[in-house]
Amino acid sequence: MKKELTGQLISEAIAMFLIIAFGDSVAAMYTLYTPSPYQQAYWGVCIAWGMAVTIAIYVTGSVSGCHGNPAVTLALAVYRKFSWRKVLPYCLAQVVGAFLGAATVYALFFPVIDQFNLTNHLTRAQGGAAGVFFTHPGLANAPMHAFTDEIILTAFLIFGIFAITEQFNEMAPGANGGALVIGLLVAVIGASMGYLEAWAINPARDLGPRLFCFLTGWGPSAFPSPGNYWWIPIVAPLLGALVGGGAYQLLILPFLPARDRALLAAAEDRQALKP
């Protein structure tokens, strides 16, 4: 049992490492280069993030289920009987993986980061190139409005994941296609709503890189962040997970025909076993 949990935690860390290593790298490509290859092709950023999630699922899903997100872990514990004993270890492993992913992106791009800040007369403490690593409200978007946004965006994410992975959903993708569709779901959220605050929708995705940046010169721009924003990408996605998961359990699951057939068959089996 201890070996199984150890493997699961390593798997969750690797999942987040992959997501951040690819995701923050595409953010670096978008932010640091002039002309950026993505300034007129933002969908490419979204696809890169989404496919990073897909790759992480294919790599680690057989070991840990590849939650890759504390919001997913919480929703599965509340609504789908995931062990509460594993919730905190999973979340910690995800943050560690995100931290290491950010460190890898930094190792790749730090000369470009420094050149970008020099060219734009910025320092790390002022937030220069911080958008490569962690999130912040976009144009005309106050922190508390961003809090509401992240609840809604994460609710969409969890609602979609529950639908894609529901065993009684006869329209769900078959075989191992769910990983691809989940990646596309992440990409669609980013493409449609990502400019609001860079669509964190994952506490570990923001917290791990933010911790790394705090230790490598970004200081107050990471913690507490302008407007004391740092806690919003942590708390809001967790609340959004409860909203999205609850909405699916209430509005869709009870009405799935395959579920009704399974419940009826189970009731008939119990009746047949009675003396």
Lowest mean pLDDT among 37-51, 115-129, 233-247, 254-268: 254-268
CB 168 within 8 A of CB 253: yes
Residue 247 has pLDDT above 80, yes or no: yes
Report d(CA 34, CA 149) in Å as an integer.
30
Closest alpha carbon to 162 in 84, 244, 82, 240: 244
**Mean local confidence (pLDDT), 236-249:** 98
Neighbours of 220 (CB within 10 A): 13
| Average per-residue pLDDT for the chain | 96
Name the pLDDT band for 39 (thresholds 50, 70, 90).
confident
Both tokens of 107, joined, read: 């190792």
Intra-chain end-to-end CA distance of the chain, in Å? 39
Give Cα 120 to chain centroid, integer Å: 30
Name the pLDDT band for 273 (thresholds 50, 70, 90).
confident
Report d(CA 92, CA 12) in Å as an integer.
9
pLDDT the model gives residue 153: 98
**Mean local confidence (pLDDT), 142-162:** 97
pLDDT the model gives residue 275: 66
pLDDT the model gives residue 40: 86
Residue 182 has pLDDT above 90, yes or no: yes
pLDDT the model gives residue 174: 80
CB 246 within 8 A of CB 58: no
CB 71 within 8 A of CB 158: yes
pLDDT the model gives residue 266: 81
pTM reported for the whole predicted model:
0.96
218-230 pLDDT, tens digit per residue, is 999 999 999 999 9
**Mean local confidence (pLDDT), 125-140:** 96
CA distances from 101 to 21, 23, 124, 204 (A): 5, 9, 19, 11
Which residues neighbour 208 within 8 Å (Cβ) at sequence distance 6 or greater?
A: 16, 20, 94, 95, 96, 97, 98, 99, 100, 101, 102
pLDDT the model gives residue 180: 97
Residue 217 has pLDDT above 80, yes or no: yes
71-110 pLDDT, tens digit per residue, is 999 999 999 999 999 999 999 999 999 999 999 999 999 9
Rounded (10°) angle between helices 70-79 and 87-119: 160
**Mean local confidence (pLDDT), 224-252:** 97
CA distances from 33 to 107, 113, 134, 147, 205 (A): 17, 10, 18, 30, 23
CA distances from 170 to 58, 158, 175, 213, 262 (A): 22, 18, 12, 44, 13
pLDDT the model gives residue 60: 97
Residue 272 has pLDDT above 80, yes or no: no
Cα pseudo-dihedral 190, 23, 151, 11, rounded to 10: 130
